[in-house]
Structure 1
Amino acid sequence: MAKNILKVPNVAGSLVRKVKFPEKFKGTIIEKWADYWKNLFIDYRQMLQDLRTDIQDDPVKAMKYTASIMALIGLYKNNPNEIDFRHELKRISNEVVMVSSECLNEKAADHLRYLDTCYNQGVIHYRSLGIASIMYTSELNDSCDLYKAHCSYVQPSYFSFPSRIVDVGLMGKWWNLYKKTTNYDVNL
């Protein structure tokens, strides 16, 4: 099978050379369009041949690049979204309600109350970064039409953004929510 894959660029290249364009289309936009695709095919064929020789020359480097690309694809596929966050928040909140107040970890309960308050006020937001996601808060609701919401002089600075991040989602899990609510039924 590997021999067949190695023969594909040569077979396809010979097909491109064998195909002749009819005389009535010479000098038209159709010929230019065909030349464009022919040159594009030749470029990609040459790129694949160069890639094959690079892999044969340094297989360790090729394996590192392949592993890195596969890891990034895996992170992208398992990137949690806001629905996952809300689902996990509701699940944990339902479990916390069943625990008595003597056993309840107050830090976990306070964090859950804070997140519920942020959702009720509409100041919590979601942003996907491709391989990771963040949940962050703002000072005002999106539908708020106060002067403070429009004035550029009272907007929060970029340096205050890290302090407004509530949670970071990576590998299918919201890590801050997990960390703060792991032992919700252990009163410390």
Structure 2
Amino acid sequence: MASFRVMRRMFCAAAETAAAPVPGSRWERLKNSKAGVWCRGLVSDYKEACREIVVGAWERPIKASMYGTLLGGALTCFYTKPDQSSFEAVLLDRSNQLGLLSPWIRNGTSDGHVQSLVKLRNEGRLRHISLGLLSLVYQADYDPDSVLYEAQCSNLSVPWRELPQRILDVGFVGYWWVLDSKMKDYDVNQEEFKHLPAHMQLTSPPTVQEVERSERLHKESWLPPKVEEEETETKVVDREEESVSEESQAEEEQTAA
């Protein structure tokens, strides 16, 4: 009796297995799962958004070009913004340029600005901060490696409202604009000309004709001197006339004697 029941259960299980639907492949099961449905909906949304962007750009090309230009400019600014190492390299380069000049001909503004930055760098008080599209270099009160209580206490740190007064330079599209502006005419000392009259303190750039004339005279100065034949003949004739006049005067003197 027990064996009969076991056999019946086996036949019932086999019949249920045969009647049950055959499951699909693993890819179909993954597609029909919750994660698969969510991914398909996400891809469909992105596909629809891209289609709307293309249709909108085709219908309004001017607006689309403006947005594209702004996006490209933002990406360019982001990837070309200078970092702290570039600022230190530019600062050392400018310092070397001033070091090649005599102190008497250095521009006071350029020299003072570069010397102050070099001093802050040596003291470890220069800080760099990135704002996405541009970079800022500002002045701190202490070196970050200092063990002073004022340097390590967060409650005594510089508040953000004082940051505009501490900014030393702005880095944008690969340039440090304040440092470059301070280095303009770095080899011209304005103090040398302050005692001159007003009309002599200002100079105007030469014209094209003056530049060409200066170049022509410079080239001619390297040529050997030339003596023209006419000048030589004129000198010979003059000498002959002088000799004839001297002979006639001598004959007149002899006749008078």
Deviations along 1:74-115, whole A, 9 cap, x unmatched?
Answer: 111211111111111111111111111111112211111111
Q: 1:123 to 1:57 in 2, by over 3 A?
A: same
| Counterpart residue identity of residue 122, structure 1 | G
Alpha carbons 2:105, 2:189 under 8 Å: kept: yes
| CA shift digits 1:160-188 (9 cap, x unpaired) | 11111110000100001101112211101
Tell me which residue corresponds to 2:97.
Answer: 95
**Helix, strand or coil for the counterpart of 2:33?**
helix
* Correspondence for 1:184: 186
Partner Cα distance (1:30, 1:136) in 2? 57
Query: Of residues 107, 114, 117 in structure 1, which corresponds to 2:116?
Result: 114
Count of residues paired in the alignment: 168
Return the letter of the residue paired with 1:36: W
Letter in 2 for 1:51: I
Q: Is the 8 A contact 1:104 1:184 kept in 2?
A: yes
TM-score, scaled to structure 1 = 0.81
| Counterparts of residues 63-78 of structure 1 (less than 5 Å) | 63-78=65-80
Structure number, greater radius of gyration: 2
1:22 is matched with which residue?
Answer: 24
- Aligned counterparts of 1:49 and 1:175: Cα–Cα separation in 2: 42
Unaligned runs of 5+ in 1: 1-20
**Consecutive unaligned residues in structure 2, runs of 5 or more:** 1-22, 191-257
CA contact (8 A) 2:139 2:168 kept: yes
Tell me the equivalent position of 1:48: 50
Q: 1:32 aligns with which of 26, 31, 34?
A: 34
How many Å separate the matches in 2 of 1:35 and 1:131? 39
2:127 paired with 1:129:
no
Aligned to 2:172: 170
The answer to whether 1:104 aligns with 2:106 is yes
Identity %: 26
Higher relative contact order (CA 8 A, sep 6+): 1
- Of 128-137 and 34-43, deviating more is 34-43
Shift of residue 56, structure 1, vs aligned partner: 2.2
**For the aligned residues, what is the CA RMSD?**
2.2
CA distance in 2, matches of 1:60, 1:174: 33
